[in-house]
Amino acid sequence: MKVYRKLSEFKPLDKAVVTVGTFDGVHKGHQVLLDRIKNIAREDGGEAVMLTFFPHPRLVLFPDDNDLRLLTTLEEKIELLESSGIDHLIIHPFTLEFSRTTVPEYVRDILVKGIGVHKLVIGYDHHFGRNREGSLENLRAMAPDYGFEVEEIPARMIDDVKVSSTKIRNALLEGNVARANGYLGYPYTLTGLVVRGNEIGRSMGFPTANVEPSETGKLIPGNGVYAVKVHFEDCIYHGMANIGKRPTVVRDTAQRVIEVHIFGFSSDLYGKNLRLTFHGRIRDEVKFEDTEALKAQIEKDATAARQILADSAYTD
């Protein structure tokens, strides 16, 4: 897959089979569209092209009134699309100026002149252009004039997989990573830098790495204890993570932290980047009477995490 960081880098094709969208999460519903453009491209002797935007349009249009949390960072999205098998990925900068593109300009300058669209495949609720004024009807009306075809993926096909980015976000906020992973088709991922903590876990025999997410807009699952796999320097380790406010050892704090204990790992990780994949939720975060009670529970959590990871359907 070739990646282009703006439309001007892309050379229009003779037979571009195109889909357009933000594709946050690149979940199973998105895969319906991606599979369709790949199949059409093979049948017509063309190439599969996806046009997406960065930053997410909502973050640009509503910067002061936006609680959107994303399922994938840009790099995670690129990696997922790489494995999807499409030929070209265009990541066009989304700006206020770009948001004012009219419907005729969008079709003429972006789809036709910019990409060379041969067939356009879109979801049933697709809108585009200034104020989202563009619709399927506009595309079908203009397509004959520019010599391309439009195919809508009907609601039934999308609904058959019963998934949406909103459903995934809600599942993660509830801490239900198993449900979210089922919608995604892969384990939810979080990447971050290891920063210094207070080393309370070490004093209990469970040293932890405090992970600070690399993207502030990335969704963090709900508070609780999770079974995770930890990707570090081309190796994958098993472990468990606590997300929350650590009520047993810290008083009166509103700050959420992500602490990860890696089974059988003792090397210094400060200043290193870790990638976590979430495979199951063990329990809620609760306040214990003392650190001895907390330690006893952590030992049970470790046993539960090992079992969840042993049974996980995902190999990462």
- SS3 annotation, the chain: CEEECCHHHCCCCCCEEEEECCCCCCCHHHHHHHHHHHHHHHHHCCEEEEEEEECCHHHHHCCCCCCCCECCCHHHHHHHHHHHCCCEEEEEECCHHHHCCCHHHHHHHHHHHHHCEEEEEEECCCCECHHHCECHHHHHHHHHHHCCEEEEECHHHHHHCCCCHHHHHHHHHCCCHHHHHHHHCCCEEEEEEEECCCCHHHHCCCCCEEEEECCCCECCCCCEEEEEEEEECCEEEEEEEEEECCCCCCCCCCCCEEEEEECCCCCCCCCCEEEEEEEEEEECCCCCCCHHHHHHHHHHHHHHHHHHHHHCCCCC
**pLDDT for res 224:** 96
**pLDDT for res 25:** 94
Distance of alpha carbon 227 from alpha carbon 282, whole angstroms: 7
**pLDDT for res 207:** 84
CATH architecture of 175-311: Beta Barrel (2.40)
> What is the gyration radius of the CA atoms in the chain, in angstroms?
22
The domain ranges of the chain are 2-163, 175-311
- Cβ pair 314, 277 in contact under 8 A: yes
Residue with tokens 């907390």: 294
**pLDDT for res 181:** 96
pLDDT digits (tens, 9 = 90+) for 264-311: 988 889 999 999 999 999 999 887 767 788 888 899 999 999 999 999
203 CB-near residues (< 8 Å, 6+ apart): none
**pLDDT for res 100:** 94
In this structure, what are the phi and psi dihedrals at residue 119, rounded to the nearest 5 degrees?
-140, 140
Residue 117 is which amino acid? V
Tokens (6 digits) for 176: 């239900």
**pLDDT for res 202:** 59
**pLDDT for res 4:** 98
**pLDDT for res 310:** 96
For 152, other C-beta atoms within 10 Å of its C-beta total 16
**pLDDT for res 208:** 87
Tokens (6 digits) for 275: 């990638």
* Positive or negative: CA dihedral 264, 267, 268, 274: negative
Distance of alpha carbon 228 from alpha carbon 210, whole angstroms: 14
Which stretches of the chain score pLDDT less than 50?
none
Tokens (6 digits) for 269: 């990780």
CATH architecture of 2-163: 3-Layer(aba) Sandwich (3.40)
